Structure 1
Amino acid sequence: MGKFGPIYRAMFNSYNGSVHDVNVYLLKNVSRLPDEQLVKLTSLLKSNIAAGAHQNVVSLCGLSTVGSDVMLMWEPLHQSVLRGVLRESRCARFGTEPFNMASFLSSERLAAIAIGCCNGVEHLLKKNVFPTHLSTSNVLLAERGIVKIGGFGLAEHHALDMTTESAPTKLRWMPPEYFKKDQKLIYNEQTMIWPLGVTLWEIFSLGGTPFTSLRQAQTFIDAMRDGSAQLETISYCGEAVTQLLSTCTSHIPEARGDIRTIIKRLECISADAKTQINLCYREDFPYLPIITPLEQQDE
């Protein structure tokens, strides 16, 4: 069950005879929803319609009405969640075969995942759609390893209850502007680059928990307000990765740059991925900590 009705797995026969796996979200008796819920549903749906289709975005494929019922057809949502894939990739070191890599995801693959996330965010920004809960927990890894951004509108698999894994709260992914007192956060490219930077950090850290040095929620909030909150350095990443993450999570919004520049920098990193993301395994490989309770913190 989703927030507004049941979700079904289905097959879609297109006009050219091809068959596709889809999910159908059935919204029953929409006209009978309380006004507050109806307004919320309409607002969420508008975001998905505005986003259109893109290979790196969880896309709404079709919409149909039958009386007061609405059927929404989505790309398959039964896909692996990126956060889980990154964390499970660390288990490569526990295999029975000899190993020499710290993850079953190669350096090149991590760079490609990062670029895919940025391409999806770039598309959404062009459509004036803001994924308000951007993190690896709202990114799906679809067939052929294609990355798909969710976390906006109804395209949030946790909102659709498509997984039993607990979703992290937004707290540790929100930009510093969000924590300023008496100031409402205005979403724009710069405010979106901060959570994108944290998401990139998650990718290169193989699913680490961000800001683990700030254990208490209030301590974290205070550090965001005074500008002292910094992501932990990933010691096995090169200078280009470190500088990119630092730029994306600058406490000065104007210093974060633009999404197109970030993609170009990632493409350069991808060309030298083994050097910039050195996953050669050793006994004391510096995996960054995963502390799930910190991810569940709220204000």
Structure 2
Amino acid sequence: MWRQVFVLWAVAWLGVMALGADWEVESQWSFSLEGVEGTPHSLSPDGGLLLTWSNEVGVCLYRTQDLSPLGCFKPLEGAESPLWLRLNSITWSPDGERVLFSVADGRLWQLEVGTGTLEWLPASTAAEYVAFSPDGEYLAVGGGGYIVVAPPGALAEAPVARYQGTLRGLVWRGGALFYGLVPPDGETFEIWQVHPAGVREPTRLWSYPYPELVLEALSPDGRYAYVGADLVDLESGELERLTGEHTLTGFSFSPDGSAWLYSYRTVRELAPWGVLAIRAVGASVADEEILLEEEREIHLLGWADEIAVLVLLGEEQQLLFLQLSVQG
């Protein structure tokens, strides 16, 4: 899609590009983020829209092909409330036609992308995290000690799990729901699995003595869980280090699940550098391929349709697009 609507960025590139033996950057282009409201958050599933948000303007949408705005959206009721100082979660529907976001008071809002309609979705539990089924027909809502499942906006919901502690992420992958949990003692982080119909009791898959972790994503095959800093192999129970001693700033599974793409911050000669790297699933840090190095911070936003999208921080913030391909 992007290859048909984008003009290659012809400005001389000031960064240092290092291409590995298997992956390469075929082309790249960028846009200035000047005039874009809010902080970049995520891309639509097809990569065609950029979502930003802030307490002042709410949730904003921009076309990634030229950063033209679709608008900013925020409930009029309580628009200046301190509850808008943070969002619990922002979730795209699989078809990219809806965006759900929950605010600090537990209310859940739905934005229809095509019409710009913003509406409140009632839920029987506080909406801390939400997850769509793969077909987009059902919605799981977690919070307040319960996880419930129903079609979006339904008046009746089916409780599928009850938990004690603090919910730290909710992901629907294939025929199972996965959720992160910090138990009441606050000493560990756990990953649990439950059937979306609630036909079986939840199963604890993994536990680790670091309660700051969050379940953010699962690989397409459901084997690896991204927990905000590293990966967990849910089959072996081992923790896969992504960047070693460096600070991770962004991560994405490849669309087909064969590779891990990630950005991190490092220091060289007392100066901060940003790095974009990639490696095959299961490979070690030593096997990573460096795709991009910049003398400023890099944040990976997402990877869709063979295009990786990054935010470059600095005096002039930019949205950078890289078309990636694997060789051989």
Higher normalized helix content (fraction of residues): 1
Scaled by the length of structure 1, the TM-score of the pair is: 0.26
More relative contact order in 1 or in 2 (CA 8 Å, sep 6+)?
1
Higher normalized strand content (fraction of residues): 2
Scaled by the length of structure 2, the TM-score of the pair is: 0.24
